[in-house]
Structure 1
Amino acid sequence: MAKGGKVGMREVSERAGVAISTVSHVLNGTAPISDEVRERVLSAAREIGYLARRSARASVNAVNRVLLAVPEDALPDSDVNLVSWTILNALTRDCEMRGVRLVPHTLRRADSVDRVDAAARAAKADGIIVINDDRSALLDAIGRSGMPAVLINGEDPNMHIDSVTPGNRFAALKATRVIMDRGHRRIVHLTWAGRKTVERRLDGFLDAFRDRGLPLSDAIVVRAEGFEPQHGEEALTAWLEAHPDRDGATALFCAADNLAFGAMRALKRAGLSVPDDLSVMGFDGVALGELHSPPLTTVSIPLEQFGRAALDLLEARAKSGQMPRAAHRLELGCDVILRESVAAPASQPSQIV
């Protein structure tokens, strides 16, 4: 490996055991090379990461400066904002690799929605990336600006701008099926209002009941005031007080890991055990879930891939110029990580005393 971790054709040639000129011919298609040598060069370039770096450098020439618009409540670096900071850190690394400069801009609810376009033009940005904020008025204003723009971790129902988001509905459907496969039939979904992406998770939760032919009366929806752990703790505490028998529920599916962390605190304080009394599943896949007791079963979102996908969409939009190009919505697949917080239900839920 080259000094400083950088890789180039010399490192590929050394690994593949061929001349640098041969590597150049293979990668640029400038001379006929045998299939065996070609495969050896490509394998070496892939293994040491040269193909990924070369592709990233080659893909960016229309976007050099991007306005990064982030809601003010997502900026504090804390355990509550692990999702936002994972996305931001990965996006920053992807921009550094591509030579793209990020110009930060804070989204405040009190500001005019047209302020983002003005800030982007003042910064001489080639495009806009918005994280988490999917207010229709804001996205409509950005769409009217005509500037290439991508929304990360949100949905634009009017499809004015491109977006990258988890496959929230399908992931929630998959997660609920996993809970059902463990034998649970009456399940609580702990969620909160305000985000379109979160509503898709509720849709997927209900889809699972329809898919299995189970009554929707067994799908219990509890809404918290927000997504932070204390909101989950408060909402579940209130629900447990109103339903000391847990309304027959044996599992809890939370629309965010943060809600699950708070819910598990509420269960512990109520003298209930996870998963013996109530199985718990989260949604996000943040690192803290593995450290909880018991470790949290969750839906893992590929957060570190959002930035790369958004930059690709932004570049394609910038290159299209005035050519018609429909808004693209890219949904990334999610996986369920099975841990100890989900198990088969007890035969009869115990009552809180």
Structure 2
Amino acid sequence: MPKKPGLKDIAAAAGVAVSTVSHVLNGTASISEEVRARVMEAARELGYLARRQARASIASLSKVLLAVPESAMPSNDVNLVSWTILSALTRDAEERGIRITPFPIGPDTPVTAVAEAARKAGAEGIILFNDDREPLLKAIAESGIPAVLINGEDPYMHLDSVTPGNRFAAQMAVRQLLALGHRRILHLTWNGRKTVRRRLDGFRDAMAEAGRPDEDALVLMAASFTPDDGEAAMAAWLAQHPDLAGVTAVFCSADNLAFGAMKAIKARGLTIPGDLSVVGFDGVALGELHDPPLATVSVPMEQFGRAALGLIEQRSLGGDRVRAAHRLELGCNLIERASLARVRR
């Protein structure tokens, strides 16, 4: 039986000390890019990486490009979801000794610019956040650089992706509303990306599953996901339906929309959940501080970065081997708070 390669074999092939190999493979010291590349190449050629990969015990990344649309930058309290996901990603990368190089994507940024920036920065992988335009996904896939899409949907499976289970989580939330006696439900959403449309799909799935007619599955479109637009859309609907048209609950496709809806409902002199139950989606921290505290679908936002880095490592360690794109959907759970109640008979 041939001898399995060890650190001494890698050190001899790369022309470095055994301690240097150990530091590179375990991410325990700062090593120059040139030396690190030599060690990783020697470990890959000797078959050491494949063996260690199965044990998930190797720090195979040192630098990752993070491509983020300018509109998704966590610059204020409207972007709490982005802030939470990106903060956790940065923290996970720091713990693993991985440097994150940010790259903002503007409306006029060419789709080839992300891969070009990654090569220029010497990044071994790309994390694309919140931007699932098909031409961009295709351009990154064709670059050959290991990449993961976070919080987006790639129906053609160009890239690995990490996303919440939007459709099934929405279905779960609406099932609970139905279990509490709500029959005519308003879904407040906006014309967003495919991930948001999956939440609408889940709403309709649950209503159809319960045998509710289409007229009981009402959909209200806001101009965007901001609390102000949620408030405006809800206020306009309430003005047109002063008797609530039989609606007893509002299921919102984002917590931000729910915050605005709650404000409009209370401004109309109605009570939550007495007149209308309200459920959000995302699970941002502000929800618990509202009056009443917001029931919401909690998305595991702090796990996105860890999962994305793991997918990039798996693909980079695989070398040139063909590996189908993986779509990782993270489970969500419903947090029942005071904005949700059983229908009053």
TM-score by length of 2: 0.82
Does the 8 Å CA contact 1:56/1:97 hold for their aligned counterparts? no
Aligned residues: 292
Query: Hey, what's the Cα distance between the residues in 2 that align with 1:270 and 1:115?
Result: 49
Alignment correspondent of 1:110: 108
SS at match of 2:57: helix
Q: What per-residue deviation string (whole Å, max 9, x for no partner) do you get for residues 26-76 of structure 1?
A: xxxxxxxxxxxxxxxxxxxxxxxxxxxxx9982321x21100011112224
Q: Does 1:327 align with 2:325?
A: yes
Q: Deviations over 1:276-321 (max 9, x none)?
A: 1110000000000000000000000000000000001010111122
8 Å Cα contact 1:57-1:98 kept in structure 2: no
Tell me the SS of whatever aligns to 1:82. Answer: helix
* Closer, same or farther: CA 329–206 of 1 in aligned 2, 3 Å: same
Deviation >4 Å, runs of 4+ = none
CA distance in 1, matches of 2:78, 2:58: 34
Contact 1:57 1:97 (C-alpha < 8 Å) held by counterparts: no
Match for 2:299 among 301, 310, 321?
301
Q: Matches of 1:333 and 1:306 in 2, distance apart?
A: 11
Q: Are residues 59 and 188 of structure 1, via their aligned partners in 2, closer, same or farther at CA, if it must alter by over 3 Å? A: farther
Name the structure 1 match of 2:191: 193
SS in 2 for 1:342: coil
AA in 1 matched with 2:329: E
Give the partner amino acid of 2:59: V
Q: CA deviation at 1:225?
A: 1.1
Residue of structure 1 in register with 2:32 after alignment: none
Give the counterpart of 1:175 among 164, 173, 176.
173
1:251-330 correspondence to structure 2 within 5 Å: 251-330=249-328
CA distance in 2 between counterparts of 1:345 and 1:78 reads 36
Partner of 1:239: 237
2:165 maps to amino acid: G
Instruction: Give the equivalent residue in structure 2 for 1:38.
Output: none
Q: Aligned to 1:165, which of 154, 163, 166?
A: 163
Cα deviation digits, residues 162-200 of structure 1 (max 9, x gap): 000000011000000111111000000011113111111
Alignment check: 8 A CA contact 2:74 2:80 kept: no
Q: Distance in 2 between matches of 1:194 and 1:79?
A: 19
Structure 1 SS opposite 2:273? coil
* Residues in 1 aligned to 2:328 and 2:105: alpha-carbon distance in whole angstroms: 23
Summarize deviations over 1:231-253 as a string: whole Å, max 9, x none: 10111111112222222110000
| Letter of the 1:277 counterpart | D
Using the alignment, how far apart are the partners of 1:98 and 1:212 within structure 2? 47
Matched position secondary structure for 1:103? strand
> Any unmatched runs of 5+ in structure 2?
1-53
Match of 1:68 in 2: 66
SS at match of 1:70: strand
> Cα RMSD between the aligned structures?
1.4
Q: Can you give the 5+ residue segments of structure 1 that lack an aligned partner in the other structure?
A: 1-54, 348-353
